[in-house]
Amino acid sequence: MLKCFLLELVMTIKYGHPRKPTLLTAKNMRRERHWQTVGTENRFEQIYLRSTASRPIEFLRTLGKKQPKVMILGPGVGEDTVKLYRSLTAEHLDPKIDTFGLTNSLSRAARRIIVRDYSINMPLEMITPRVPEHQRLISALIGKYDLIVGALSVGIHTRYPAYNVFASSLMLSPGGKAFIEVRDYRDKKKIIEVVKKMVGAYNRANGTNFQFDLENINFTGYNRYLEITRIQ
């Protein structure tokens, strides 16, 4: 509790201002309807094979864990996640996949393979330890995952991409990797700098030693991801 309160303090004092809620404007409502249609099966090839050049799957292959813990941030309907699950089980892995998104639109097939959907109709950037329900969520997610994938979600549909990359990174277990899609190259350079500062401030405030390696990856020319590795 104290740790998270300090994190909140660091975020609001050192990095400007409290984060504003996402406004449900007509434009956003249209976008929400669109979100329900994304996360379709065909997105699997785009996300896991083309945009990230199979790095998330390759990582799980070489990790050596029979039951890797996976978090999908912003799954949409989650059909691509079903395909990910099937491609991993075909390789004799038994992934434990959780999800977290703003909208709650998982298909029936996705619900069958997902261990837990942590969505609470709240964008990632608005999760705050001041609210007991959020506090429980933070405790459940921090340091938990071997692999995190956020395609077209927390790094894009937000006013706070750097904060969301930071918050996503904290969910990694040591040695874990996150692949978060972000908007453009300039953004990414700035995001990397700000995330590093946030990690430093978090470590100083909490006496922790989270360390991440952040790398730009762009295999297709238009889908851009940050690959984040938790070193310790």
Ligand X SMILES: C[S@@+](CC[C@H](N)C(=O)[O-])C[C@H]1O[C@@H](n2cnc3c(N)ncnc32)[C@H](O)[C@@H]1O
153: contact with ligand X by CB under 6 A: yes
- Do residues 70 and 98 make contact, with C-beta atoms less than 8 angstroms apart? yes
Q: Is 158 in the site for ligand X (CB under 6 A)?
A: yes
Q: Figure out which of the listed residues 4, 7, 11, 39 binds ligand X, where binding follows CB under 6 A.
A: 39
User: 218 by DSSP, 3-state: which?
Assistant: coil
The reply to whether 103 sits near ligand X by the rule CB under 6 A is yes
Q: How far apart are CA 179 and CA 38, in angstroms?
A: 18
* Residue 142, C-beta contacts closer than 8 angstroms, at least 6 positions apart: 170, 171
Rg (alpha carbons) of the chain, rounded to whole number: 17
Binding to ligand X, residues 62-81 (CB under 6 A):
74-76, 80
Q: Are 117 and 135 in contact (CB under 8 A)?
A: no
Which residue stretch of 32-40, 137-145, 172-180, 188-196 sits at the interface with ligand X (rule: CB under 6 A)? 32-40
**Least separation, in Å, of the C-beta of 154 and ligand X?**
5
Among the listed residues 19, 69, 157, 188, the single contact to ligand X using CB under 6 A: 157
* Selected range binding ligand X among 83-91, 119-127, 212-220, 222-230, rule: CB under 6 A: 119-127
The SS3 of residue 215 is: strand
| Least separation in angstroms between CB 67 and ligand X | 23
Instruction: Work out which of 154, 165, 192, 201 binds ligand X, going by CB under 6 A.
Output: 154
120 binds ligand X (CB under 6 A): no
CB-count burial class (<10 Å; 0-12, 13-18, 19+) for 200: middle
Q: Which is nearer to ligand X, 83 or 188 (CB)?
A: 83
* Least distance CB 159 / ligand X (angstroms): 9
Q: Does 35 bind ligand X (CB under 6 A)?
A: yes
One of 10, 84, 102, 162 touching ligand X (CB under 6 A) = 102
Q: Would you say how long the chain is, in residues?
A: 232
The reply to whether 51 sits near ligand X by the rule CB under 6 A is no
Tell me 19's DSSP state: P
Helix (H) or strand (E) holding 82: helix 79-89
Residue 60 to residue 54: CA distance in whole angstroms: 10
Question: Which residues contribute to the site for ligand X (CB under 6 A)?
Answer: 35, 38-39, 43, 47, 74-76, 80, 101-103, 123-125, 151-154, 157-158
